[in-house]
Structure 1
Amino acid sequence: MLFPTFAFGAFFVVVFVVNWLTRPHPTLWKPLMLGFSIFFYGWWSWRFVLLLAATIVINWVVGHFTAANLQGTGRDDARTARWWVRIGVVANLGILGVFKYWDFFAVELSNLLESVGISGTLPILEYTLPVGISFYTFQAMSYIIDVGRRNVREMAPMDFAVYLSFFPQLVAGPIVRASEMAPQLAARPDPRYVPAAEAFGLILNGLFKKVVISSFLASEIVDGVFADPGGHSGPEVVLAVYAYAVQIYADFSGYTDIAIGVALLLGFRFPQNFSAPYRALTLQDFWRRWHMTLSRWLRDYLYVPLGGNRGSRVATYRNLMLVMLLGGLWHGSTWNFVIWGGIHGVVLAVERLVRERRERHGLGPILPVGIGEAVRWLVTFHVVCLAWVFFRSESLSASVEMLGAIANFDNYAGTATPLVIAVTFGALAFQFMPQAWADQIREGFADLSWLAQGAAVGLALVAIDVLGPSGVAPFIYFQF
């Protein structure tokens, strides 16, 4: 099983070639990086390279005319700039809607019309979902909105093309904003001064999470139980839900670690996307730790424009629900994702209501500090796990079957092996490791000689190859 060695080697070759070729010719860096990124995306399907190119052109043109009108001093100029931003947002949502949501809404609307006696159906397009479309569309929208808000300057065409197609995070994030990337693109990074030790550590950590942890749990318990919950006992079903919570974290944060590490080797620093989410004591805290770049995107470009918490309490709860429902739809066009977002929205609203009432009445903690924190963690973690059932299941009926199987104490299938239990709960316990320990490990690796670092990387790759199962499934977030 050579996946980690191949993936690591491919990324390293790209980084080496880009840095080696462009040192004597700095002006080649951006065209070469754009070419590698397009090739990387086209390796999956060249058909959608044109879609990515169209998104780049449309959004750069919109940003250009938005910025040009903002240079004027009249009201008409500002109004025109706002219209350009609206045109850009509508264009991006239109592209996303056609490729990701048309079939879902066409089927649901046709069913609704038939239920009231109106015949006829809307056409089903059955397009293949372009990989990464949700990520680069959100990045494109953040750019034109930030240009309209004067938070970022217009980017040069080549800079914008590299920004939107940058291969490390093109297909599954993190969602990097132009304000974070543009200054780094403007100053050509020196390949002689990159934090290589940190980068290699992130890449290896990401490979271990994906190849060993995520793939092991998927093959040993998650896939089998979610495919046939009725054929497993309740404790196995519960363990499978816990295991999926670990699997999706290891899978998605693993990709993020790899993306951030590869970008570091090229001289770019991406924002952090995960921070031990399963140690959160509230759902609000969970969203400050899980997929942080999406959380901030939804906050700054959806929640705040809707009014945030500046209106009445009812308006605030409405805004929370809308944001989480749309966040669920961002992940996929099924009712399961809507319910997943709805669970998070309801609990976030309830948390806010309880917190506001306690503050209004000056109430202190009900339980002793240690016990209270344990209870809050337990409740938060199980709310997240409940929502994961809908996120992972293929349909609403499958979700209901999965939840119903929890009460089944027969049909033990033997999936809850000691190793599965150890990996699941060991990974959850690892979330509580002090950050200082991780910093010491990283610093210790950085202090090693280049020869020792190379040996450590080689041994780590061999260990990942040995420990990982045969065959590795695609990253979960590739489908979004």
Structure 2
Amino acid sequence: MLFPTATFAIFFLIVLPLSWLTMPWPHRWRPFIIAASYVFYSWWDWRFVLLLAGCTIWNQMLAVRIWRTTDRARRKSLLFLALAGNLGVLGYFKYYDFFVSSTDNMAAIVGYDLPLSLKAIVLPVGISFFTFMAISYVVDAYRGEFEPTTLEKFAVYLSFFPHLVAGPIVRPSELIPQIEKPRDPRRVDTSRAFYLIATGLFKKVVIANYLASSIVDQVFAAPGQHSSLEILIAVYAYAVQIYADFSGYTDIAIGIALLLGFSFPQNFDSPYAAVSVQDFWRRWHMTLSRWLRDYVYIPLGGNRKGTVLTYRNLMLTMLIGGLWHGAAWTFVVWGGLHGVALAGERWWHGRRAAPARPLAGWPRWRARILTFHFVCFAWIFFRSDSFGSAWDMIEGLFTGWGEPSPLVTSGVLLAIAVGIGSQYLPARLPRVVMARFSRLPVLAQATVLALALMVTSVLGPEGVAPFIYFQF
């Protein structure tokens, strides 16, 4: 079920009042919201509800046993079992065909013919997100940082429909305490919720969908048929598309959760205004960045075991992050490029005797421009279907100048400018807009929202494409 559809609108108009009506009685609200979330998830394929339910029971059972066990070796064994179960399910559904085809190709290179076969397994929507949330739950229990809750509350945490299929990745300590006590409808920040939903819909339906249909999909599908200018603009367009698509989804998810009385962590903070690759990852998909830091990078040793191992840990973390995004070597290369850049930045700053001063003026803009173009270059591998296609894109940047470029229209350039320029607006501007909106009479608020939705509907292409991150 997609957010920007009439189906979801009807679903939410039913769920929202019933959620608040049952909220004063948690023993009624929790089964209701679990059922609503399972209906939401089953709309795509009802069979995978069983997978979600099994993941819930498995992780709750082992998290409780880990928490209650005092023997260190036993606790480690239980943690390993929990992780093996989660990663095994994720590996089967998401990476089975990838590993089989990769193994078969490597064997063919050395002259072996392995009797391996592909299964064309259907990837459950959102499996990467709820698997990582489940891992957070059991690992936090193992570390003694979070006491497991009841099965019912954990089921709400894992299946809560606003974050279920594409994040943000919410930690147990961020959501479960909110589940454990009724929310107060008088404290719901409706102005912020409506602002996030309206802007999220505009980013997804207007900016992301327009750029995808107008230039990105056509150029990446056949880069050899397009000019260098079209390829360059398509790369910029994809950078804006993926930002508008994913941050738009996140905005809608956070807004919907707010209307239900729950607060989610921020997931984007003007990433294309970053002055370094490290700064980019502090701003892009922030919940995933923190997850990789806390559950991969730090357990590997972080920066505590010397310079060389720090570089190794950065590389491994980003390679895992790349593979998490998709079962293809292009995603691994994308993660590897970011790993090399992070290691390179750390090496460069490590050469200085004194801490670097904050950049200002032209040096700051130069750093932003260089970071943005590195990120855009890496997006070529992320978006391309194969290395051959990625190489055709890169080669085409240099070999087709002066050719006709009909796809580079004023609308495409305006959408790119809006997508990037909006990240340089003053941080206080949204707060000012929300404050003024909240002071409007109810009828005026309804009118503003109706106009915003109408503009989004008129400007957006016909139909709504699935969110990019649904496939991850």
- Tell me which of 413, 433, 447 is aligned to 1:421: 413
Structure 1, 423-432 or 368-377: larger mean CA deviation:
368-377
For the pair 1:382 / 2:373, whether they are aligned, the reply is yes
Q: Secondary structure at the match of 1:244?
A: helix
Cα distance in 2 for partners of 1:321, 1:263 equals: 35
Cα distance in 1 for partners of 2:273, 2:416 equals: 15
Q: Secondary structure at the match of 1:288?
A: helix
Q: Secondary structure at the match of 1:44?
A: coil
**Per-residue deviation at 1:363?**
8.6
Cα distance in 1 for partners of 2:186, 2:264 equals: 19
**Per-residue deviation at 1:3?**
8.2
For the pair 1:470 / 2:466, whether they are aligned, the reply is no
Cα distance in 2 for partners of 1:265, 1:146 equals: 28
For the pair 1:165 / 2:123, whether they are aligned, the reply is no
> Structure 1 residues 3, 348: closer, same or farther in 2, change over 3 A?
closer
Cα distance in 2 for partners of 1:45, 1:8 equals: 16
What residue ranges of structure 1 are gaps of 5+ in the alignment?
none
**Per-residue deviation at 1:389?**
0.5
Match of 1:348 in 2: 342
- Offset from partner CA, 1:256-280 (integer Å, 9 cap, x none): 0011111111111000000000000
Q: CA RMSD in A?
A: 1.8
> Structure 1 residues 466, 421: closer, same or farther in 2, change over 3 A?
same
Cα distance in 2 for partners of 1:25, 1:304 equals: 40
Match of 2:77 in 1: 83
Cα distance in 2 for partners of 1:11, 1:188 equals: 22
| Matched residue type, 2:338 | H
Match of 2:48 in 1: 48
What residue ranges of structure 2 are gaps of 5+ in the alignment?
none
Aligned residues: 470
**2:157–2:175 CA contact under 8 A, matched in 1:** yes
Match of 1:372 in 2: 363
Cα distance in 2 for partners of 1:224, 1:323 equals: 33
Q: Secondary structure at the match of 2:424?
A: coil
Match of 1:259 in 2: 253
Cα distance in 2 for partners of 1:425, 1:178 equals: 38
- TM-score if structure 1 supplies the norm length? 0.95
Cα distance in 1 for partners of 2:115, 2:142 equals: 39
Q: Secondary structure at the match of 1:91?
A: helix
Match of 2:427 in 1: 435
Cα distance in 1 for partners of 2:84, 2:419 equals: 42
Q: Percent identity?
A: 51
Which portions of structure 1, spanning 4 or more consecutive aligned residues, are displaced by more than 3 angstroms? 2-5, 23-26, 362-365
- TM-score if structure 2 supplies the norm length? 0.96
> Structure 1 residues 14, 295: closer, same or farther in 2, change over 3 A?
farther
Cα distance in 2 for partners of 1:276, 1:364 equals: 22
**Per-residue deviation at 1:28?**
1.0
Match of 1:406 in 2: 397
Cα distance in 2 for partners of 1:270, 1:453 equals: 24
Structure 1, 230-239 or 13-22: larger mean CA deviation:
13-22
**1:4–1:465 CA contact under 8 A, matched in 2:** no
> Structure 1 residues 384, 5: closer, same or farther in 2, change over 3 A?
same
**1:199–1:262 CA contact under 8 A, matched in 2:** yes
| Matched residue type, 1:403 | I
Structure 1, 422-431 or 299-308: larger mean CA deviation:
422-431
Structure 1, 140-149 or 186-195: larger mean CA deviation:
186-195
- Tell me which of 206, 210, 215 is aligned to 2:209: 215
